[in-house]
Amino acid sequence: MPEHQRRVYNRLAVLRAERGLSRKQLADKLGINYQTIGYIERGDYNPSLELALTIAELFRLPVEAIFGFKPMTPLSEEIFREPPPGIR
């Protein structure tokens, strides 16, 4: 990845494992090469906006649930996280 690019973290590997998809199967659904999935998962390649949105659409999740600038926390932790004080 070029040095001027910001690192984009993702939980693609977790989502893929959750749905029992191999890299090849996911790549075929997205119309890309299976190596590209591996490079995205490893953070070596930042997908285009189009590809990121297509991935989000495929997993039926908002794009920010899959990609972000901060390291991803486990989804279970986010679901069961205590709300900040003052918010019910």
Partner 1 sequence: MSISISKVEYLPRSRRRLLVTFALTGYPVAVAVLAGLKHTSLNRWLIVAIFLALLLPTLASLCVGYWYARGRIDGRRARLDERDLVLRQQSYALSHRVLAAVLIVAAAITEVYLTSGNTLRLDANTVVPAMLWVIVYIPALPSLMLGWIETDQPAEASQLADA
Q: Which residues bind partner 1 (CB under 8 A)?
A: 1-2, 22-24, 31-36, 38-39, 41-42, 44-45, 47-48, 50-51
**Smallest separation, CB 52 to partner 1 (Å):** 11
DSSP string, 54-85: HHHHHHTS-HHHHEESSPPPPHHHHHSPPPPT
Residue (48 or 76) nearer to partner 1, CB? 48
Q: What is the DSSP letter of 86?
A: T
Selection from 23, 1, 3 nearest residue 13 by Cα: 23
CB of 30 to partner 1, least distance (A): 9
Task: Provide the minimum distance between the beta carbon of 11 and partner 1 in the complex, in angstroms, as a whole number.
Answer: 16
